[in-house]
Structure 1
Amino acid sequence: MANHKSSVKRIRQDKKKTLHNKYYAKTMRNAVRKLRAMTDKEEALKLYPSVQKMLDKLAKTNLIHKNKAANLKSSLACYINKLG
């Protein structure tokens, strides 16, 4: 266990931040999964901007890599375009 006040505080902060990051990462994965499960093009087009915004925010805060966000947005856009 840590011996210094600063390291104890850092451990406390890390736990809180980890929980915060896990929530947003899981929310993002669920949103992508929900969008990929859609079969109606109009509904998918309505949901896509919010998913895109979420991916951009997570990439900006380094929760996910910027290229991963770009790849996900691109693949989702292709998926939506293929819907009939």
Structure 2
Amino acid sequence: MPQHASAVKRVRQSAARRLRNREHRSRMRTMVKRLLQTEDASVAKDLYPETQAYLDRLVTKGIIHRNKSAHYKSQISLHLNKVAR
């Protein structure tokens, strides 16, 4: 247990940040999974811009690394091209 006031505050801030980041990561994974599981081209086309924008937003906020975002965007665009055929 931290003894100094600043250390106590850092623990409190870290816990709040961890919960916030967990929510964002969970939503991101759900969006990507939903897009990858759909076989309907029109649904995939609707979900694609929303998912891509959310991934970019998480990179900007520093929640995920830009390479992870690029990996997910590559996966979903490949899936979109496959479904569109």
Q: Which bracket does the TM-score occupy, shorter chain normalised?
A: over 0.9
Q: Which residue matches 2:17?
A: 17
Partner amino acid for 1:28? M
**In 2, Cα distance between equivalents of 1:78 and 1:29:** 17
Provide the C-alpha distance between the structure 2 equivalents of 1:25 and 1:41, rounded to a whole number of angstroms: 25
Alignment of 1:7-46 (within 5 A): 7-46=7-46
The offset of 1:67, in angstroms, is 1.1
Q: TM-score scaled to structure 1, two decimals? A: 0.94
Find the residue that maps to 2:64 and give its secondary structure: coil
Match of 1:51? Answer: 51
Return the letter of the residue paired with 1:63. Answer: I
Residue 64 of structure 1 deviates from its aligned partner by 1.2
Task: Tell me the amino acid that sits aligned with residue 43 of structure 1.
Answer: V
How many Å separate the matches in 1 of 2:67 and 2:6? Answer: 35
How many percent identity over aligned positions? 38
Distance between the aligned counterparts of 2:56 and 2:65, measured in 1?
10
Moved over 2 A (4+): none
Offset of 1:7 from its aligned partner? Answer: 0.7
- Inter-partner Cα distance in structure 2 for 1:75 and 1:15: 31
Bigger Cα displacement from structure 2, 42-51 vs 66-75? 66-75
Distance in 2 between residues matched to 1:2 and 1:74, nearest whole Å: 43
Identify unmatched segments of 5+ residues in structure 2: none
TM-score, length-scaled by structure 2: 0.93
Query: What is residue 6 of structure 2 aligned with on the other side?
Result: 6
